[in-house]
Amino acid sequence: MLIKKILPKQLTFLIVLSVLLLMSNSSLLAQESLKIDIFGPGQDQINIFIAPALPLGHDVFQDNEHPERIRNLLRQNLRLLPFLRDTRDAEILGGPEVAGVRGADIDFRKFNLSRVDMLITIGVDQQAGLPGSVELRAFEVFGQRMVLGKAYTVHEPDQIHLMVRRFCAELMDYLTGHGGFFQAKIAFERKHDDIKEIWTVTPLGHDLRRITSLNAIALSPEWSPDSEKIAFTLLKDNRNSLGVWTRSTDEVSVYNLPGNTVISPAFAPDGRLSVSIDPMGRPDIYWLDRDFRMDKAIMEHWAIDVSPSFDRSGNKMAFASGRLGNPHIFVINLATNQVQRVTYDGRYNTNPTISPDGRYVAFTRQTPDGHRIFLTDLETGRERQLSFGPGNDEDPSFAPDGYFIAFSSNRDGRYRLYLTTRNGDSPIIIPTGDGHATAPAWGREPEF
Amino acid sequence: MNQKRYFILLALLAALVLSFGCGKQTVDTPRDPHAQLSEEERARLAEEQRRQEMERQALEERRLQEERLARERDRVSDEQLLEEVIDVILATRIHFAFDSYELNQEARSELQKIAENLKKFDTLRLVIEGHCDERGTAEYNLALGERRARAAYEFLILLGVPSQRLQIISYGEERPLDPRSNESAWAQNRRAEFKILQ
C-alpha cells in the first residue's frame, strides 16, 4: 500500500524491466546523422518504418489484437512528429516483414533500398499472459545498429498506450534532445450548450477527462509548473472568480478577487500566479500571493492588459494590450520593466504565448479571412504566419519543448484543438470528443 | 311725608329684590328634564342614541374599508408598474461598435430611462452584463465586455444611481444572443444588458 501511495498508479502495473542498451561507443559517435535539429530553420525528415510485431518465445501469437494495437499506436504517436515520415508497408521492397526483432535477424539492405532511415521492431512474449512482455527496438538502418531498446511488462490492455508513449518519449529525446511532448497533458475548455468545463487530454487524444463539474462557464485553463494545479476563470453567480483545481485532491477551490473581472490566469516559472483583474476599474495584470489573494501589480495602464505568458526564466512576460487603440502584443522585461512592442501589423493581435527560451512569441491576428496564428522572432523582429485556416485559428500555446504549438480552430465548423510546430507544420487534430474545444494549455503528467 | 315716601321706596326695593330671587328659582326648576320624562320616552331616546352610534360606526367602517381598497389599488398598480419597469429594463440592450465600449446617443437615452426607473423604485438592484461578438479572442473579449458593462455602470452613476445598487459582470463572447456568424448577429451580440439582482 505504501508503494501504491508513493509511486504513481501506473507504475504499480507497468514496470520497465530493463533497458537494452546495446550500443557501442563507436556507434554512438556515428549516430549524428540521425539526430534532428527541430529548432533549425529547415528541419530534415527521417523516414521511419515500424515492422509488424513478432512473437517472442512462441511461434505464433495467442492473440494478435494487442501486438497489432502496439504497432498502430506507435505509428499514430510517431505521426505526430513532423520530422518523421511514416513509411507504408507497400513501400518496402520485398515486403514489410522482418525475420526477428534483433539486429542480427534483420535484413537491413531491403530497408536501406526502400529509403528507410529508422526501423522499429516489436517483440511480444505472451507466455506471462495478455498483453504480455514487450520489447521495442529502434535501429538506424544505414549503420545497421540499434540506437534504443526497451522492455516492458504490460498487465492490462489499458497500459499499452502509456507504454508506447514512454517509448516514443525516449525515441524523441534520442533524436531531438526533447522528449517531453509525449509526457504532455493538455488542459482545455469544452463547451456543451451554455456550459464550459475544463478537460484534459494527451496530444494523441488519450486519457480524455473532465476535471471540473461546475455547471458554469470555466475559461482559460493554465497549469502550474509542477502540474499540480490548473487555474482558470470561472463565470458563475453573476461574477468572475478564480477557480483552482488541485490534482492531489481532485477538487476545485474558488477565489473571489477585487474588482469585477478575473481574466487569463498564468503561472510564472516560480509557481506564482498572475491574472488580469480590475481593482482600479480597468483590466490590469497582477501577481497573486500563495493564497491566491491580490498582490502587487505587474502591468498597470488605463487600457486593457490581459493574457500574460512567461518564458522559462521568468524574466520576460508577453501580454496583449489595447493601449494603442487596438489590441497589440507586448513583452515586458520584468527585471528592467522595459516594454517591447511585438506586433506592428494588423489591427487586432491577441493571445500571446512566449516560447520557453524567450525568443519567440506566437499570437492570434485577425485577418480579412479570419484569425490566424503568427510567430515573431523577438531578436530579429521577423514575423511569419503559422496557420492558414479556414475559419478562425486562435489560442496558440507553446509546449514546454518550445517546438510544438497547440491552438484551437473552427476550420471544420466546430472548434477543435490542433497541433502545429513553430515551423508551421501541417496541423494535426487532437481528438477531444464532443462539443467545442478551445484554449489549450500544456502541462505534464508527473507520474509519467 | 318724606318718611312715608322713604318707606314706600324701601318696600318697593325690597319687593324688587324678592322678585329677582323668585325668578331665579323658577329658572332652576327644569334643570333635569328626564326627571319629568316618562319611562317610555327614556327608552325611545336611548334607542335613538344607539342607532346613531351604530350609524356612526358603520360610516367609520365604510371609510376604513374604502381607505383599505384605495391602498390595495395603489399597491396593485405599484406592483404592476414595477413589473412593467422590470420588463422594460430586462428588454433594454445597449449596443456597441466592434472593439469599442463607447456609449452612443441611443445608449445614453436608454440608460437615462433606466436611471429614472431606478429612482422610482429604490428597491431595484441591477447586474449589468457586458457581452461581445465572437470575433476577437475570448480573453480580450472578456476585458472588452467589462469595459462595456463599466461604461453603462459609470453613466448610471453620473445620473445619480447609487453604486451599491449596481453590479458588473463580463461574459465576453460566451453568451451570444444570436449564434450565427454574420454582421447582423455580431451587431446584436455586442451589447450590455441588465438583470435584476434579487
Q: What is the mean pLDDT of residues B53-78?
A: 87
Task: Report CB contact under 8 Å: B138, A439.
Answer: yes
pLDDT at residue number B181: 87
Q: Which tens digit of pLDDT belongs to each residue from B148-169?
A: 999 999 999 999 999 999 999 9
Task: Report CB contact under 8 Å: B167, A439.
Answer: no
Whether A397 and chain B come into contact, CB under 8 Å, resolves to no
What is the nearest CA distance from A322 to chain B, expressed in angstroms? 9
| Candidates A260, A306, A371; nearest CB to B168 | A260
Grid coordinates representing B121? 423604485
Residue B70, pLDDT above cutoff 90: no
Residue A70 to residue A121: CA distance in whole angstroms: 11
Contacts of B167 in chain A (CB under 8 A): 238-239, 260
Q: How confident is the model at residue B81 (pLDDT cuts 50, 70, 90)?
A: confident
Contacts of B136 in chain A (CB under 8 A): 327, 348, 350, 366
pTM: 0.81
Contacts of A194 in chain B (CB under 8 A): 174-175
Residue B154 to residue B122: CA distance in whole angstroms: 18
Q: What is the ipTM of this complex?
A: 0.84
Cα four-point dihedral sign A199, A202, A205, A206? negative
pLDDT at residue number B151: 95
pLDDT at residue number B32: 57
Q: Which of residues 311-330 of A touch B (CB under 8 A)?
A: 320, 322, 326-327
Look at A364 and A59; give whichever has higher pLDDT: A364
Mutate to test the interface with B, among A260, A319, A410 (most CBs of B within 10 A): A260
| % of residues, chain B, pLDDT over 90 | 58
Q: What is the mean pLDDT of residues A34-45?
A: 64
Mutate to test the interface with A, among B137, B154, B174, B180 (most CBs of A within 10 A): B137
How many Cβ atoms are within 10 Å of A420's Cβ, its own excluded?
23
Residue B18, pLDDT above cutoff 60: no
Residue A120, pLDDT above cutoff 90: yes
Q: Which has the minimum average pLDDT: A28-32, A114-118, B165-169? A: A28-32
Whether B175 and chain A come into contact, CB under 8 Å, resolves to yes
Residue B139, pLDDT above cutoff 70: yes
Q: Which tens digit of pLDDT belongs to each residue from A375-403?
A: 999 999 999 999 998 999 999 999 999 99
Q: B1 vs B7, B9, B11, CA distance in Å?
A: 10, 12, 15
Task: Report CB contact under 8 Å: A366, B197.
Answer: no
How many Cβ atoms are within 10 Å of A45's Cβ, its own excluded?
12
Residue A137 to residue A103: CA distance in whole angstroms: 9
Could you tell me which chain A residue has the CA closest to the CA of B151?
Answer: A281
pLDDT at residue number A4: 33
Q: How confident is the model at residue A26 (pLDDT cuts 50, 70, 90)?
A: very low
Residue A2, pLDDT above cutoff 60: no
A321, A315, A301: which is closest to A359 by C-alpha?
A315
pLDDT at residue number A22: 41
Mean pLDDT value across chain B: 85
Q: What is the mean pLDDT of residues A338-361?
A: 95
Grid coordinates representing B152? 453603462
B191: β partners: B95, B131
Whether B171 and chain A come into contact, CB under 8 Å, resolves to yes
Mean pLDDT value across chain A: 89
φ, ψ for residue A27, nearest 5 deg: -70, -30
Q: What is the mean pLDDT of residues A136-155?
A: 92
pLDDT at residue number A37: 66
Residue A155 to residue A130: CA distance in whole angstroms: 7
Report yes or no: A111 and A49 within 8 Å, Cβ to Cβ.
yes
Q: What is residue A140's three-state secondary structure?
A: strand
Q: Which tens digit of pLDDT belongs to each residue from A45-65?
A: 889 999 999 998 777 888 888
Contacts of A278 in chain B (CB under 8 A): 146, 150
Residue B196, pLDDT above cutoff 60: yes
pLDDT at residue number A41: 55
What is the nearest CA distance from B168 to chain A, expressed in angstroms? 6
| Candidates A263, A326, A438; nearest CB to B143 | A263
Residue A322, pLDDT above cutoff 90: yes
Residues in contact with B136: Cβ distance below 8 Å, sequence separation at least 6, in sequence order: A327, A348, A350, A366, B99, B144, B173
B70, burial (CB in 10 Å: exposed 0-12, middle 13-18, buried 19+):
exposed
Q: Which has the minimum average pLDDT: A172-186, A257-271, A326-340, B102-116? A: A172-186
Residue B131, pLDDT above cutoff 50: yes
| % of residues, chain A, pLDDT over 70 | 90
Identity of the amino acid at A373: I
pLDDT at residue number A129: 73
Residue A31, pLDDT above cutoff 50: no
Query: DSSP secondary structure string, chain B?
Result: -HHHHHHHHHHHHHHHHHHHHHHHHHHHGGG-SGGGS-HHHHHHHHHHHHHHHHHHHHHHHHHHHHHHHHHHHHHHHHHHHHHHHHHHHHH-EEE--TT-----HHHHHHHHHHHHHHHH-TT--EEEEEE--SSS-HHHHHHHHHHHHHHHHHHHHHTT--GGGEEEEEEETSS-SS-S-SHHHHHHHSEEEEEE--
Whether A438 and chain B come into contact, CB under 8 Å, resolves to yes
| Candidates B99, B143, B168; nearest CB to A348 | B99
Cis upstream peptide for B179 (omega within 30°): no
Report yes or no: A394 and A188 within 8 Å, Cβ to Cβ.
no
Whether A375 and chain B come into contact, CB under 8 Å, resolves to no
pLDDT at residue number B25: 46
Task: Report CB contact under 8 Å: B135, A366.
Answer: yes
Cα four-point dihedral sign A22, A28, A30, A33? positive
What is the nearest CA distance from B161 to chain A, expressed in angstroms? 18
pLDDT at residue number A351: 96
Strands (E), A56-178: 84-86, 118-125, 132-140, 145-154
Contacts of A320 in chain B (CB under 8 A): 139-140
pLDDT at residue number B3: 64
Residues in contact with A222: Cβ distance below 8 Å, sequence separation at least 6, in sequence order: A187, A230, A231, A232, A264, A265, A266, A267, A441
Between chain A and chain B, the number of residue pairs with CB atoms below 8 A apart is 88
pLDDT at residue number A233: 97
Cis upstream peptide for B30 (omega within 30°): no
Report yes or no: A405 and A421 within 8 Å, Cβ to Cβ.
yes
Grid coordinates representing B58? 358603520
Report yes or no: A373 and A405 within 8 Å, Cβ to Cβ.
yes
A370: β partners: A367
pLDDT at residue number A130: 73
